[in-house]
Amino acid sequence: MVIQENVCLANKTTMKIGGNVKLFYVPETENELIDIAQTIYDSNERLLILSGGSNLLINDEKCFEKVIYMSSACLEMKELDNNKFYIGASNRIQKVISFVNARNHGGFESLIGLPAMFGGIIYMNAGIGGKGNSLFTISDFIDSVKVWDLYEKKLMELPVEHCEFSHRHSIFHNQRYVILGATIQCKKISCEESKKIKTERIKFCREKFEYGNGCFGTCFSVANYKILKMVSSYDKFRKIGKGRVTFGENNSNWLVNHGSGTYKDAIKLINTCKLLHRVCKKNIKCEVIIWD
Ligand SMILES: Cc1cc2nc3c(=O)[nH]c(=O)nc-3n(C[C@H](O)[C@H](O)[C@H](O)COP(=O)(O)OP(=O)(O)OC[C@H]3O[C@@H](n4cnc5c(N)ncnc54)[C@H](O)[C@@H]3O)c2cc1C
């Protein structure tokens, strides 16, 4: 296992915000991952697992003790019978899509624009479309998820119905499990068809998304769009993030770092949105995971 010291977490997230971590573990096998995760868990330390870092807001005034980076531990991908595949948690979604497409399977090509690993995608139940107008989520393709259970200290295969998937949520938010991979059920799809979907989606992302110098995807999984629009368009609110972090001009639910944005800038904007929702008696739920 590679262990790096004093690693800057900002560089490991798409938002480009975050403090340092004293010990940055990069396990190279499933067993190394399980060992280090269980050791940290047993010593009552905070267990922080980082995959693509595309849904994380990390405090940049903090120095964290330990972080496990998922890049190398679970890289297995294999075709099974009956349109099924086993996909390890460390694989980038682009690699997963290429792998299944090359075997004339797929169905989730539109996830091509996510800078994420498969484990992070399962954890977040990532998908296309918002709450109420969702086109699909990854849970539509999952048969079972292979996890390490930190309570029971054993490997488990959780069937999809036990994963409590809902909009951008899953049982994995309870921090009991380390996701190692999943068995997925794909659709049959020709290479031409999958290529067309990917090309269209990439074009859509390039035209519509505001990447700035760092960004998340959607910040809130539940929110009132009128309120978000107000926060993203009025100068008074834009000043809250000091202009360094703002909501997108076209994507009012996207938080964009314009270069020198800080954790405080982002948190102030998020808290302002929460306050406005409370005042207007509207529901709001943060999609982004915050490491405070
Ligand atoms: C440009 C852009 C576009 C996006 N578009 C979309 C979109 O269209 N649809 C959508 O749903 N989301 C979208 N997102 C958000 C994001 O990509 C997803 O939420 C994705 O699922 C996060 O995966 P990740 O690998 O980056 O996870 P991370 O951000 O690294 O982690 C997210 C959470 O999962 C936990 N975790 C990660 N791996 C494991 C594991 N193996 N075991 C246990 N816990 C784990 C982490 O501890 C953390 O709590 C977008 C983000 C960006 C930046």
pLDDT digits (tens, 9 = 90+) for 141-192: 999 999 999 999 999 999 999 999 999 999 999 999 999 999 999 999 999 9
For a substitution probing ligand 1, which of 36, 51, 171 has the most ligand atoms within 8 Å of its CB? Answer: 51
Per the prediction, the chain carries an average pLDDT of: 95
Which residue in 137, 112, 6, 119 sits closest to 53, CA to CA? Answer: 119
State mean pLDDT over 133-145: 94
pLDDT digit string, tens, across residues 82-117: 999 999 999 999 999 999 999 999 999 999 999 999
Report CA(142)–ligand 1 centroid distance (Å): 17
pTM for the model: 0.96
Nearest CA owner, ligand 1 atom 8: 128
Report CA(53)–ligand 1 centroid distance (Å): 6
Q: What's the pLDDT score for residue 130?
A: 78
The fraction of the chain above a pLDDT of 90, given in percent, is 87
> In the structure, which protein residues have their CB atom closer than 6 angstroms to any atom of ligand 1?
14, 49-56, 70, 89, 113-117, 119-121, 123-124, 126-128, 172, 178-179, 209, 215-217, 289
Q: What's the pLDDT score for residue 164?
A: 98
The answer, yes or no, to whether residue 140 has pLDDT greater than 80, is yes
User: Which domains does the chain show, CATH number per domain?
Assistant: 2-69 (3.30.43.10), 77-194 (3.30.465.10), 210-291 (3.90.78.10)
User: pLDDT category, 233, cuts 50, 70, 90?
Assistant: confident
User: pLDDT category, 18, cuts 50, 70, 90?
Assistant: very high
User: pLDDT category, 235, cuts 50, 70, 90?
Assistant: low
